[in-house]
Amino acid sequence: MKELVVLSGKGGTGKTTLTACFAVLARQKVLADADVDAADLFILLEPEIRQREVFRSGYVADIDLQLCVQCGQCRDFCRFDAISPDFVVDTVDCEGCGVCVRFCPEEAIQLKECISGEWYISETRYGPFVHAKLGAGEENSGKLVTVVRHNAKLIAEEEGLEWIIVDGPPGIGCPAISSVTGAGAVLIVTEPTLAGIHDMKRVAELAAHFRVPRAVCVNKWDLNREMTAAIEGYCCREGIPFLGKLPYDRVVSRALVNRKVLVEYAPDSEVAGAVRSVWEGLQRVFRASGGVESRAGGG
Ligand code: SF4
Ligand code: SF4
């Protein structure tokens, strides 16, 4: 199977629009939304949830104030200053290390599992879809990305599907690392601005670090032809396949407003043609990398 992860240096570059198009263009695929902090691929795919699971991301201490004699030992031992003077645990600061549990003379503290979100397996008209929702302010999105990718891979294996198409998270933080490690290839979607080039380079370096084949395409390329040329030049120097330039076209936002996938909403538009050409380029990237199999599981 081939796992493609679509990435961008920041949000709003058209990454999800492209991923949804690939969901239409790929045959025999499972789809995954690894942008768990701001999942929005579901808006276009209109999934029907078949399976719903709780995401457990770790532990926090919980003090039973009925048993507590306020000796203060837990506060003295906690390296993270997670316990208030009135012996209430701050669940954000608590790292779940368990030291306070161990030293409480009254056995008044327990570790409780944290439920940080949910993940789902859904059906869409394009195929199975694994997605997730992280609770507001919750951390551990990298771990949730790993859960999403892992389950997408299991489905691909069980159903003998050729493609895993992943809408990756923006940036180069922990969730991006979790989405890149072991992938078959990444497509970096960028825009022709100075910030866009800077972000693209950071993502390209991240993928190179994990030895994942890379490719680049530019969205709204005609808004700054000079910058687009600079991006092409960078790709050429770095040996990164440059797969195409998507023109600015209001039909893209019209498709989004109507909750439609661009290549279905306006199949004859120039921008839809450019997307199809990027998709064809991706087949070449996978062929050139020897049909790299997903080494997925995340990191
Ligand atoms: S160590 Fe136990 S008894 Fe002492 S203050 Fe903390 S919770 Fe209360
Ligand atoms: S589990 Fe660790 S981090 Fe959390 S309150 Fe206890 S000592 Fe502090």
Residue pLDDT, tens place only, 48-71: 999 999 998 889 999 999 999 999
pLDDT given at position 137: 66
pTM score of the predicted model: 0.84
pLDDT tens string 179-214: 999 999 999 999 999 999 999 999 999 999 999 999
pLDDT given at position 299: 39
Protein residues with CB under 6 Å of any ligand 1 atom: 63, 68-74, 87, 104, 106, 108-109
Residues 6+ apart with CB under 8 A from 238: 204
Averaged pLDDT for residues 128-138: 86
Is residue 89 lining ligand 2, measured as CB closer than 6 Å? Answer: yes
Q: Which of 252, 250, 242 is nearest to 217 (CA)?
A: 242
In CATH, the number for domain 2-46+125-288 is 3.40.50.300
pLDDT tens string 221-258: 999 999 999 999 999 999 999 999 999 999 999 999 99
Mean of the per-residue pLDDT values for the chain?
A: 92
Is residue 92 classed exposed, middle or buried when 0-12, 13-18 and 19+ CB atoms within 10 A define those classes? exposed
pLDDT given at position 36: 84
- Tell me, in angstroms, the distance from the centre of ligand 2 to residue 87's CA: 11
CATH class of 58-115: alpha beta
Averaged pLDDT for residues 128-149: 87
- Domain ranges in the chain are 2-46+125-288, 58-115
